[in-house]
Amino acid sequence: MKKQTKTSFFLFFCIFSFFLIVTCVSKKQIAIPGLAPVTFQSNEEELRIEEMHSRVFRQLGSYKGSEACYACHQKEYREISNSYHVHQGRITKDGKIAYDPSKAVDTGMYTRWYPLSNLDRTAEPEKHWRQMEAIFCAQCHPGGGVLKPYGMDVDCLICHQKSGYKGGQGLGRSPAGIDKHGKMVLSNGARLSSLMMAGAKVGGNMKKLDLSDIAVKAMEGVELRVGKPTPDNCNFCHWRTNGKRGTRYGLFKGSPTDVHYAAGIRCQECHITKNHQIGKGKILDAIGTPELRGTMKTCMECHGDEPHEGTNKDALNEHLHRITCEVCHIPKTYPGAKQINWLPGMDMEKMMKQYQWMMPIAKLFGMATPEKMNQQINDMVDCYKIMKKAGFKPVYAWYNPDVLCTEIPHPTGSREDNNSRITPFSVVETILFDDGTTTEVLDDPHGYLNGHPVPKAFVARAGGKGKKDTTLKQLHQWQNGRYGSAIIRKSPMYFQQFHSIAPAKDALTCKDCHIKAGGRLDFKSLGYSPEEIEDLTEQ
């Protein structure tokens, strides 16, 4: 009897503790949506198309997912289904979806960005990466491709819904769209929470996972307004890039962060889009789909080869031969990642099994709301990163945009290379375990060679301490020394800065760089001699 009493008390204590933890998370005030400070104009034809689509959806009863769009937009459906936004870096040699990642020839975000460690997907436990793709990556990717086997087809409204799509980042702070009255609609994170609940429902069993109703859930109670994508649609996913670069194209605390955004310029006006393939620049940290490099507009195409005017125009225009526009025209940075630490590991399979028994309790106490679930997920993910505050100074280095970096992203250029220009970067220190089998990595463990990162699921299992770092000793001893030669790497990753462009009046001036101490540019690290530095700087 006493044993039963103790068991009942323990169960009650667990439930009460879980309730307390979830309900006592940081209660940040949700911003009250106001009139959008920036509008993106629509012409009469676009307004007619918006009303026509609204009428169709009213006749259907609501948005039913891509099948509603497919009846009229079969060509567009095929285009987006073959786009890099859908295939997640999983394309075979003949351009088809590589459902087996070992057949993929493209390099997607799973290997180049999310882990920040260039992890080969085939080295990760299959249950882990499949869950990561379907339950985490799917919060941004519009469905189809590798997500289609789980019932998640292409969702057109991620890009084409003007009044805000439930989901996205920046919970309660990031604009998701603008309603017909001109007021901002803020994100509530419903898409991610729906995905997590779907994964929890089946305990991570991918054979039972069904994501077919995610698109419908994400549009419940939302005013349907179909039209050309606005930056809010793009930021639904690309809000995450702010953390890498410390720059953004949108709003920060209610004010525009980029002169082009403030002017109402849509993303696709520079990122030229053909057949639903969004144009790309030649940035350092994007090597996937190389055929799309350089398919977007450059600064010069709009502003000319000699954009500066006034008394110093000749000197400023001369700078363009060796300095990118962003050096002077990104005078202000926003919060960005300083360090990503993968030593605790991440076991997605274990996480889903835990969520499976926790979710009914959360629902019982009304804790399974998108807002509360997203806060919990953010708190969980925050254990991996340390942030830089707004106003941090970028790192400036030589970069040749025509040299493809296939290693851990770092500047590929030099002062001696006439095609290299000084370029601003946000540098993120990445800490991870490597299996220690690559001689070149052992010679320079904190360098840029890819090596063989230890899968994060195995790191978590070796340590088993939740948010606490797994020690090198624990990893060496795990599974009878499976990773007995593992080492810890601390490699900097360079993320190029290109948004947060300031108007000319707010750009850096000569004295911001050409001074003896405290200037923006470190001329010594850029390869200048003491004599040259003396000539380039003033008191």
pLDDT of 259 reads 97
pLDDT of 483 reads 97
HSE-CB at 77 with a 13 A cutoff on CA atoms is 14
Last residue of a domain, one of 280, 304, 327: 280
Per-residue CA distances from 103 to 99, 107, 329, 452 (Å): 8, 11, 42, 19
pLDDT of 171 reads 59
Residue 525 counted as domain residue: yes
Residue 339: closest CA among 379, 377, 369, 383: 383
Residue 447 counted as domain residue: no
HSE-CB at 178 with a 13 A cutoff on CA atoms is 20
pLDDT of 15 reads 45
- Give residue-wise pLDDT tens across range 459-475: 999 998 767 899 999 99
Residue 152 counted as domain residue: yes
Token pair of 108 as six digits:
């997607």
Residue 355 counted as domain residue: no
Last residue of a domain, one of 260, 280, 300: 280
Residue 492 counted as domain residue: no
Which alpha helices (DSSP H) does 484-539 contain, by range?
Answer: 510-513, 530-536
Token pair of 65 as six digits:
């997912």
Distance of CA 334 to the CA centre of its chain: 15
- Give residue-wise pLDDT tens across range 102-137: 888 877 776 665 545 567 777 888 888 888 888 888
Token pair of 6 as six digits:
């103790």
Residue 431 counted as domain residue: no
Residue 533 counted as domain residue: yes
Last residue of a domain, one of 242, 260, 280: 280
What is the SS3 string spanning 160-226? HECCCCCCCCCCCCCEEEECCCCEEEECCCHHHHHHHHHHHHCCCCCCCCCCCCHHHHHCCCCCCCE
Residue-by-residue DSSP string for 119-165: --GGGS-HHHHHHIIIIIGGGTS-S-GGGGGGT----THHHHBTT--
Per-residue CA distances from 220 to 188, 213, 295 (Å): 12, 11, 37
List Cβ neighbours of 417 (8 Å cut-off, separation of 6 or more).
398, 400
Token pair of 249 as six digits:
């194209």
In contact, 508 and 393? CB cutoff 8 Å: no
In contact, 180 and 42? CB cutoff 8 Å: no
C-alpha 358/C-alpha 355 separation (Å) is 5
For β-strands 175-178 and 487-496, DSSP reports them as unpaired
pLDDT of 480 reads 96
- Residue 186: strand pairing partners: 175
pLDDT of 131 reads 87
pLDDT of 31 reads 52
pLDDT of 25 reads 42
Token pair of 235 as six digits:
């930021």
Residue 436 counted as domain residue: no
The amino acid that residue 405 corresponds to is C
pLDDT of 347 reads 87
pLDDT of 470 reads 96
Q: What stretches in the chain show pLDDT beneath 70?
A: 1-33, 110-118, 167-173, 466, 539
Q: Please calculate the CA angle 17-21-25 and round it to the nearest 5 degrees.
A: 165
Q: What is the span of the domain harbouring residue 531?
A: 510-539
Token pair of 260 as six digits:
């082009």
Number of domains in the chain: 2
